[in-house]
Structure formats: structure tokens, C-alpha cells
Amino acid sequence: MISSHTADHLFLKTLKDMLGDSVLLGEEIPTSCFSDWTGHAPCRPLALVRSATTEEVASLLRLCNEHRRPVVPQGGMTGLAGAAVPSTDSIAISLGRLTGVESVDGDAATLTVRAGTTLQTVQDAAEEAGFRYPVDFGARGTCQIGGNIATNAGGHGVIRHGMTRDQVLGLEVVLADGRILDLMNGMIKNNTGYDLKHCFIGAEGTLGIITRAVLRLAPPKGETHTFLCGLPNYPAAVALLHRLRGAGLALEAFEVMWQDFYTMSCGWRDGQPPLHTSHPIYLLCEAEGAASHLEAALESALASGEVEDAVLAGSTTQARELWAIREATGEFPLKLAPINFDISLPVATIGAFVEDASKMLTQRWPDIRIVNFGHIGDCNLHLTVDGQSLAEDTAETRHAIEAEVYRLVGDYSGSISAEHGIGLLKRDFLHHSVHPEALDVMRSLKHTLDPNGILNPGKLFG
Ligand code: ZN
């Protein structure tokens, strides 16, 4: 019998012989590949392969499939669910050398790109050609478009333009057995049976590895306005959402902050908060359209009591200052010991959910500190628990808090993941949001496309 150590050694030799310098072993593997932004326990993979072409990805997968070796696809390692974290026996495959915008088609308003290209590069190329790639979030300079697609990334522009899924027209994917699937469609209308690209978008690298994509581009932004409002309650936020849309404004962001979030964030900043009086709910909104339409809508909202106070940014500097309050989330890892929730709920029920979750958690953990904000136009709530407020911030307590919150999400018919994905972080809770029949179909699909289970094992499913 051959020992697993010897088997590893033989396999790595074959890998080196076949792929040469693109294979890194042992100490050569950079620690940046060991974990992602979730801060999951870092882990060194058996090897890191930096493929520069689709064909190299294909030959690597063919070999790993023959030898039943687990493969973990990696992009910019900015994921928030642990989907790219390797295991000690895995071959990590980095797409970081498969980069570049191949072309921009101005007539079709599309862009063709390789998977390892950063989101920032895609946005810049779109802008240079007189367009806009509207998906945006903080990790833009580091995250890669392949990872964005594999995790169906969201962000605050989703309210107008949809998730990453909605921008993808075509894909090139390498299957577990090394076959290259050419789905590089560039047309908006294409009704030819199963739209296979959707199987790979949001699949977190469990069904195939995305190597190229055709993306839709949006026209550049028109005249936009940024404003902050104080509201009397949550239903007023939903009413205002309807009012602004009804006024013919295109909403680019609709970010609702509960008082707990707003007060904490303003406390972290110098100077007076932009709204001087206290309100139960705050809204940061970015809207495109005529200033007169916005002013009329805000005036009637103030008259009806839906809005108690409002401040409109008069310059980009002022707009940035308003955004800084909402972007306090970027400081959470430094200033709190955050337990982050990224959940979706029917929009009208989010206010009640926040109250129920707070009541339920406070009953069991009396001193617990909770802060809430959400992209509520997308039904997305980010509830955060500060681990520092717990008597004992242990893995067990965190798991218990997660179990309570996700059970409540299930009761509300919500989703345990709005925009971050499942990865390792939420796989134990998937059943709260996905019905058993749907889970069965997901497992059948996995078995059909990856019968040996080599692609990102342990992710998504428990
Ligand atoms: Zn978000």
C-alpha cells in the first residue's frame, strides 16, 4: 500500500512536470492565499497553481480529477463567506494571472474580460469607453471579476442595476473533468433552452471554474443627488421608497440606518452630526434625476410627516461626508468584534424583524449590543452583533447567536445570505432558506457536473 505522504509527493511531481513554474509549493505559497476577509483560520494548501490561460486551468482540472484531488479556486481573497479558504490537502488555483479586458463593444455595450481582472480595472475600462460597470463595493481594487461572478456579488448599486448575475451575458467555464464550456454569448436576447451560465453564477466554484466573461455595460450616471433624512419609523422608509420612485427618480442607493448604527458611527467622527435632532431611522439616498423632482418629492414627504428632517449634499465633498457615516461598516473589524449578518427579508417586514431579533437576543444575552443598517430597497439587512458586548465571546456563543438569528430569518421566509454567499460560514444553516426539494436538485446538479466531488469540497453543502 502506498502512504498518503508518498502519494502526495508523486502527485506534486506530476503537477510540477506538467505545469512548471506556475506551481508553488510549501514556503513559496504566499500567506495571502491561506484565508479571506472572513478571517477564517488560515490554512496552507498542498500547492498553489497560478494558471495564466484557460487551457492551463483545463489541464490542471483534468489531472486533479483523474487523481481525485480537491481543487479550491481563488480570486482576490476578499470574500465574506470563506468560499476560497483552502484545506491542507487541496490544490489552490489562483486566477490572478489570467487578467485583462479583451475588448469593449461600443455598439453592443458589452465588455469581454478574463476572470482574474480586478473589478476596478473593469470599471475603469468601461468608463474609458463612455460606459459604466455599475456593480460596486469597497473591495473593488483587490477583488476579481471571476470571484464576483462565482459569488454573485452585490453592493449598494443593486437597487438599480441588479446583482452581478444581472450583468453577465456570457461565460467561459472549465468543468471538473477539464472540458471547456463556451457560453460566451454577447446578446441580450438568446432563448435557447437552459441558460447554463446561471448554474455557475453564485455557485462559489463548486460546479466549474469561470475563466472569461461577457458583461453588460450601463450608460454613465446622469445628474445625481445625495441626501440624508431622519424618519419617524421604519414604515416611513418604505413609503419614501415608493414616493421617490413614483417621482421619476432612479435610485442608485437607498441605505437605511437604525438609530443604534447612526449614533455609533457619528460618535466615531469629529464635528457635529449632519442632522442635529435624534430620529429612530436615518436614510442615506442617492438618486438620479431632475433636482426639481427631488425637491418636490422631499417637500411632500416633509409635509406628510414621512420625513422629519433632511439635508441635501451641496458638493461631492459633502456627499462623501454623508457616505462616511454609512461606511462605518469598514471600521467594524477594528472597533468592534463583529458577528456579521447579511440577510434578506420581505421589505415591509424588515422593521418588525429588527425589533423581534433585538428582543430575542437581548432576552438570552442581556447586555448584547446590536447595530443595524440595510440596503432595504434590495430587501437586504446587515445586522451586526458586537462580540465585545457578550459576557463570553466564544465560538459556541457565536454559533448560538447565529442559530437564533437564522431560525428567525426562516420564520420570516427570508434568506440567510443576501449578497455574501454561503461558503463555509453558513452551510450549516442553508436549510432555513432552501427547501429540501431544492436542496436535492442542487445536490443532483453538483453530482452531474462534478461526480468525483473535486471542486471546492465542503463549501456550500455541509
Ligand atoms: Zn452590503
For the record, the C-alpha cell of 457 comes out as 469540497
Residue-wise DSSP of 425-455: TSGGGGGGTS-HHHHHHHHHHHHHH-TT--B
| Ligand 1 centroid, distance to 86 Cα (angstroms) | 25
| Ligand 1 centroid, distance to 342 Cα (angstroms) | 7
pLDDT reported for residue 270: 87
- In this predicted structure, the answer to whether residue 210 has a pLDDT above a threshold of 80 is yes
Give the residue with greater pLDDT, 333 vs 390: 390
Fold equal for 101-216 and 336-437: no
- In this predicted structure, the answer to whether residue 1 has a pLDDT above a threshold of 60 is no
3-state secondary structure 276-331: CCCCCEEEEEEEECCHHHHHHHHHHHHHHCCCCEEEECCCHHHHHHHHHHHHHHHH
Fold observed for domain 224-329: Alpha-Beta Plaits (3.30.70)
- In this predicted structure, the answer to whether residue 129 has a pLDDT above a threshold of 80 is yes
For the record, the C-alpha cell of 34 comes out as 491561506
> Pairing between strand 180-183 and 168-174?
antiparallel
Mean pLDDT, rounded, for 23-49:
93
pLDDT, tens only, 73-113:
999 999 999 999 999 999 999 999 999 999 999 999 999 99
Mean pLDDT, rounded, for 187-208:
96
Nearest alpha carbon to residue 73 among 82, 63, 86, 87 = 86
Give the residue with greater pLDDT, 181 vs 1: 181
d(C-alpha 83, C-alpha 202), whole Å: 11
| Ligand 1 centroid, distance to 179 Cα (angstroms) | 35
- pTM of the full structure: 0.94
Q: What percent of the chain has pLDDT over 70?
A: 99
Mean pLDDT, rounded, for 452-457:
98
d(C-alpha 198, C-alpha 217), whole Å: 18
pLDDT, tens only, 249-266:
999 999 999 999 999 999
What is the dihedral sign for C-alpha 117, 120, 122, 124?
A: negative
| Ligand 1 centroid, distance to 93 Cα (angstroms) | 27
Question: What's the CATH architecture for 101-216?
Answer: 2-Layer Sandwich (3.30)
| Ligand 1 centroid, distance to 411 Cα (angstroms) | 22
Mean pLDDT, rounded, for 29-34:
95
CATH of domain 4-94: 3.30.43.10
User: Poorest-confidence range of 131-135, 306-310, 326-330, 396-400?
Assistant: 326-330
pLDDT reported for residue 84: 96
pLDDT reported for residue 395: 92
Nearest alpha carbon to residue 459 among 62, 24, 36 = 36
d(C-alpha 28, C-alpha 26), whole Å: 5
Residue 100 amino acid letter: G
| Ligand 1 centroid, distance to 155 Cα (angstroms) | 5
pLDDT reported for residue 462: 66
Give 31's DSSP letter: G
- In this predicted structure, the answer to whether residue 7 has a pLDDT above a threshold of 60 is yes
| Ligand 1 centroid, distance to 382 Cα (angstroms) | 7
pLDDT reported for residue 5: 81
| Ligand 1 centroid, distance to 153 Cα (angstroms) | 9
Mean pLDDT, rounded, for 326-340:
92
User: Poorest-confidence range of 31-40, 58-67, 239-248, 338-347?
Assistant: 31-40
CATH of domain 336-437: 3.30.70.2740
| Ligand 1 centroid, distance to 46 Cα (angstroms) | 33
| Ligand 1 centroid, distance to 311 Cα (angstroms) | 23
- In this predicted structure, the answer to whether residue 313 has a pLDDT above a threshold of 70 is yes
| Ligand 1 centroid, distance to 261 Cα (angstroms) | 14
Give 249's DSSP letter: P
pLDDT reported for residue 28: 95
Where are the chain's structural domains? 4-94, 101-216, 224-329, 336-437
| Ligand 1 centroid, distance to 281 Cα (angstroms) | 18
pLDDT reported for residue 2: 64
HSE-CB at 74 with a 13 A cutoff on CA atoms is: 32
What mean pLDDT value characterizes the chain?
A: 95
pLDDT reported for residue 286: 96
| Ligand 1 centroid, distance to 251 Cα (angstroms) | 16
| Ligand 1 centroid, distance to 421 Cα (angstroms) | 12
Ordered strands of the 380-386 beta sheet: 309-312, 224-231, 281-288, 250-258, 369-375, 380-386, 338-344
Q: What share of the chain is helix, strand, coil (3-state, %, to 5)?
A: 40, 20, 40
| Ligand 1 centroid, distance to 250 Cα (angstroms) | 19
| Ligand 1 centroid, distance to 40 Cα (angstroms) | 19
| Ligand 1 centroid, distance to 307 Cα (angstroms) | 24
- In this predicted structure, the answer to whether residue 3 has a pLDDT above a threshold of 90 is no
Mean pLDDT, rounded, for 210-216:
98
Mean pLDDT, rounded, for 5-30:
92
| Ligand 1 centroid, distance to 156 Cα (angstroms) | 6
